[in-house]
Amino acid sequence: MRLTALAASLVLAAAPLLRADEGMWTFDNLPTKKIQAKYGWAPDQAWLDHVRLSAVRFPGGSGSFVSKDGLVLTNHHVGHHWTQVVSDAQHDYVKNGFVAMTRDQELKVPGLALYTLLEMENVTEAIEKAVPAGADEQAAAKAKGEALAALVKDQTAKTGLDCQPVTLYQGGQTWIYRYKKHTDVRLVMSPEYGVAAFGKDWDNFSWPRHDLDFSLFRVYENGKPYAPAHHLAWTGKGVAYGDLTFTVGHPGRTSRLETLAQMEAKRDVTNPLALRGLDRMRGSLRAFAAQGGEQARVVSDQLMGVENAYKVVAGETEGLRDKVAMAKVAEAEKELRAKVEADPKLKASAGQSWAKVEEAVAQQKAGAAEATLLGAMRSETLGGALGLHRYAVEMAKPADQRAPQYRDEKSLAGLKARLARIDPAAAGQEAFALQGFLATVQQELAATHPAAQLLLGGKSPEASAKALLAGSKINDPALRKALVEGEPKAILEHPDPALALARQLAPRLDELQKKQQALQSVISEHLTRIAKARFAVYGTSTYPDATFTLRLSYGAVETYPLSGTLAQPFTTFAGLYDRAAAWGPKAEEGSWELPARWVERRDKLNLFTPYNFISTNDIIGGNSGSPVVDKRGELVGLAFDGNIESNAGRYYFDARVNRCLSVDARGIVEALDKVFDAKHLVAELTGK
């Protein structure tokens, strides 16, 4: 991505004055005066409570209740994995779509849990009081962690809700969020992958866009459709160019309040390392998928995720390399440091914090390759063996000396079930995954590196993977089950080569983990000090970085400069068919090929129905599936992506070109009615 000097001049990171529609705001700190001043209207508490209680959190994404009978709307790509879970070789609901015509046809999705945020409590003061006077960084982090864990445990017992700790402003605030957890979730409707992700990876992060990226689930309770206290009404008239909109969702992570040293480390070391790993990973997945249709089906979710992640990290890295933009980041940090230096109290607390963070980050960079590789063994064989070894080591200790997850009976039961389970899909692609991982080891670590010697022993990745898989039985479900249910000693002494390798790797992994934890403790403590200094200087006029907790962003349906002209604010079904015809069904492995049902029913559609639209709402990964609502609190759209220019938004917001891409609510009901014959769902959504 390239920013012009004008665009870059709008960039702002961690400064007191926020420009345009920037911000992923917590519900306790919405800039209502600013919204009122710009748009002539701002939400009141009743409006905020309504949209908050209508929102739900998916694993890795967002959603919302959209009917009184627990119907939940999210993106197709958020539901992709779960649709795949209920599919099989005979019923490929990802490729062919799915519609439950009656309630008894709705498919229960094993393992899927959704969360609704009911209550929030600021516990910062209580956590700070737990830190002993004179404690160093690691002791302070330990004391805070123990105090927070105790509060979470106590509140969970008292409320019966799922209580989760939330850290905001880089440790400047600590909250406990209390959620209602929904565990009986069923698939109701999912369009075909070919229209939900029309244009495939080529069109990902692009605009104009023509994606029907939505799916519908239903929450049940006690065997009956759940009746939420709040749900979003479907729009009656839709959204128009210039209209104010709000996005309610769970942005995963931004790093706008990190230090310049942290951003530069990601630009120079961490992100390039991640890009090389993602590139090799997608190569392995593509090789496996090329074996046949069933292989392609079982890795479709993984491949989509890896392709998406690659574009995200590449865009972030390009943004970090923009000299003008990063100069603005440096300027903002310089301004804050000067204010801290001028205040004796702030100087005593945070004056040295930037230098401390920079020193710790330098050490992290030095060990980044090994820590990244060994911290995420992307293979069933090595990952499974290391998991079993760690389990055996902990279970061999007296109960009161084990790590927490090995003491709690419920957690332990879940852990044992995961260790014993073999994913057939993962086992099927194990040769590709293991070889890809070992190739990464060979390319990122010197041949003399201890970890490289253990994993490769001077052989090629192909030969090493073949030898390990030929000799190991660790992926045999019967052996896994027997080891988990047996004595820890059996695992620690088992001759299987994967377990033997795990015993050699484990000490090095433990050492790496301890070192990384120590460095992170230093970084976390000093980021907290910087955050407190920022509070003292600027207050809560800024918003916290995203933490996959519920946020509200606002903006308007608005164009932006694109390819020498202006981007259109809406696309239509006519544009979908035009793009399909212009490319033809065979281009780029069918990236713009429409499913047969869509070709057959073209004449039934009102081709000028709004399909996708853009707005200035500030979003990032995790916002996928966020409802887009208007002043009436009605659902007008469904956020599903950002444009390519928005990928640098992890580190700064550029109001001139950052855009949120949404599926138009009118397009959803038009497709349900005219293409899928789902008039019962249209009636449930619209009340008509």
pLDDT band at 513 (very low <50, low <70, confident <90, very high): confident
Domain 5-113+183-256+545-686: give its CATH code. Answer: 2.40.10.120
Q: Which residues pair with 660 in a beta bridge?
A: 615, 642
Q: Are 255 and 271 in contact (CB under 8 A)?
A: no
Residue 30: is its pLDDT beyond 90?
A: yes
pLDDT band at 581 (very low <50, low <70, confident <90, very high): very high
What pLDDT does 423 receive? 73
- CA-based nearest residue to 308, from 330, 338, 281: 281
- pLDDT, mean of residues 426-450: 86
Please report which helix (H) or strand (E) contains residue 174, including its range: strand 173-182
Residue 131: is its pLDDT beyond 80?
A: yes
Residue 383: is its pLDDT beyond 90?
A: no
Determine which of 87-96, 117-126, 287-296 has the lowest per-residue pLDDT on average: 287-296
What pLDDT does 688 receive? 83
Distance separating alpha carbons of residues 523 and 420, to the nearest angstrom: 36
Residue 540: is its pLDDT beyond 90?
A: no
Residue 5: is its pLDDT beyond 50?
A: no
Give the list of residues 6+ apart from residue 43 with CB closer than 8 angstroms, or none.
30, 32, 35, 51, 246, 631
Residue 539: is its pLDDT beyond 80?
A: no
- pLDDT, mean of residues 24-50: 95
What digits encode the pLDDT tens for the residues 223-268? 999 999 999 999 999 999 999 999 999 999 999 989 999 999 999 9
What pLDDT does 377 receive? 67
Exposure of 424 in the CB half-sphere (CA atoms within 13 A) = 7
Residue 3: is its pLDDT beyond 60?
A: no
37 φ, ψ (degrees, to nearest 5): -65, -35
pTM of the model: 0.80
SS3 184: strand
* Residue given tokens 């000299």 in the structure block: 323
Residue 436: is its pLDDT beyond 70?
A: yes
- pLDDT, mean of residues 492-504: 94
pLDDT band at 421 (very low <50, low <70, confident <90, very high): confident
Q: Quick one: tokens of 55?
A: 């929102």
Q: Quick one: tokens of 53?
A: 């209680």
Q: Quick one: tokens of 335?
A: 């301004």
DSSP 634-688: -EEEEEEEE-GGGGGGGT---TTT--EEEEEHHHHHHHHHHTS--HHHHHHHH--
Give the list of residues 6+ apart from residue 71 with CB closer than 8 angstroms, or none.
65, 188, 216, 217, 218, 231, 681, 684, 685
Distance separating alpha carbons of residues 632 and 233, to the nearest angstrom: 9
Q: Which residues pair with 119 in a beta bridge?
A: 178
Exposure of 33 in the CB half-sphere (CA atoms within 13 A) = 3
Distance separating alpha carbons of residues 214 and 317, to the nearest angstrom: 29
Distance separating alpha carbons of residues 111 and 85, to the nearest angstrom: 9
SS3 124: helix
- CA-based nearest residue to 613, from 74, 241, 196: 241
pLDDT band at 19 (very low <50, low <70, confident <90, very high): very low
What digits encode the pLDDT tens for the residues 46-105? 999 999 999 999 999 999 999 999 999 999 999 999 999 999 989 999 999 999 999 999
Distance separating alpha carbons of residues 312 and 683, to the nearest angstrom: 38
Residue 196: is its pLDDT beyond 80?
A: yes
Q: Quick one: tokens of 550?
A: 């519920």
Q: Provide, rounded to the nearest whole percent, the portion of the chain with pLDDT above 90.
A: 70
DSSP 513-545: HHHHHHHHHHHHHHHHHHHHHHHHHHGGGS-PP
Residue 15: is its pLDDT beyond 60?
A: no
Distance separating alpha carbons of residues 183 and 521, to the nearest angstrom: 35
pLDDT band at 330 (very low <50, low <70, confident <90, very high): very high
The residue extents of the domains of the chain are: 5-113+183-256+545-686, 118-181, 353-541
Higher pLDDT, 684 or 279: 684
Please report which helix (H) or strand (E) contains residue 614, including its range: strand 610-615
Distance separating alpha carbons of residues 100 and 103, to the nearest angstrom: 7
- pLDDT, mean of residues 13-34: 75
Distance separating alpha carbons of residues 197 and 192, to the nearest angstrom: 9
- pLDDT, mean of residues 439-457: 91
What pLDDT does 325 receive? 83
DSSP 238: -
Residue 405: is its pLDDT beyond 60?
A: yes
What digits encode the pLDDT tens for the residues 593-625? 999 999 999 999 999 999 999 999 999 999 999
DSSP 144-172: HHHHHHHHHHHHHHHH-SEEEEEEEGGGT
**Distance from CA of residue 330 to its chain's centroid?**
27
Distance separating alpha carbons of residues 55 and 120, to the nearest angstrom: 15
Exposure of 375 in the CB half-sphere (CA atoms within 13 A) = 14
Determine which of 15-29, 52-66, 338-352 has the lowest per-residue pLDDT on average: 15-29
610 φ, ψ (degrees, to nearest 5): -55, 135
Distance separating alpha carbons of residues 89 and 350, to the nearest angstrom: 59
Q: For all residues of the chain together, what is the average pLDDT?
A: 91
Distance separating alpha carbons of residues 1 and 317, to the nearest angstrom: 9
SS3 99: strand
What pLDDT does 538 receive? 84
SS3 216: strand
Please report which helix (H) or strand (E) contains residue 373, including its range: helix 368-375
Residue 11: is its pLDDT beyond 50?
A: no
